[in-house]
Structure 1
């Protein structure tokens, strides 16, 4: 059974610290997802741009991660637009989910897209407010209860907010 553990990081530094701790804790970069607002653009995107990890460092630089930022090393990093909400940077499994079926079902709502990922509605609404306010959503995808506990422990040690876990939906 596949599960996801979620948290909110309040800053880029905290986001990168959590990613580093997850990697040091044995989590694969392909199982770590990050979603945050794209503040590098003053306009909403009309389309999505697909990139891969090597190009991710360039995207990371545009949003203040610095050269060689850890977010740029995650799988599938790119920019996407959620109609009515704005542009976002996404990396990891969440990128494919948000650029595909979840957004289509969401009718232009980040809350709807998050619900489509299996996040309960009340948490999805809370996450949307924090993400659009400048925070980052971090998730780790795993199948074991030990890994769920380890991810939650890493999030707690980093003083992340709104830590929760949920069963993932099939995408």
Structure 2
């Protein structure tokens, strides 16, 4: 019986197939996670651009543009993830920002009171810009929970986009 080698290849393939299947499950889940994360980021940026397109003449947009939220929601749903990408509670937010001496954006005021210049950021010769910040969320669910390393990835996927409106 020891000299009989029939079936050894099938046993070896069965052992190898287990590792191949686990690797394939991991590659699949990681790839889907990366793709969906990119789609969430894209949807977030599209929503910010929709705010600019829809409300650039009605600033501040969060108080003067009644179609802001519907335009942003339609933009969010335009990716392959559809309605699964949602605005976070309290989003969008809007405020006045200035460039400070370190060349970084610094919030100087909310939309209720526009400052005359950027003195608060240490740059009195500059004018503040009106920026909108969009925060979105998407819950990722791996295809192979328990097998894939993708179950350890952060979920929900949260993305932020900031765009100057005026």
Q: What range is the shorter-chain TM-score in?
A: under 0.3
Which of these two proteins has the greater Rg computed from alpha carbons? 2
Of structures 1 and 2, the one scoring higher in RCO (CA 8 A, sep 6+) is: 1
TM-score normalised to structure 2 length: 0.26
TM-score normalised to structure 1 length: 0.25
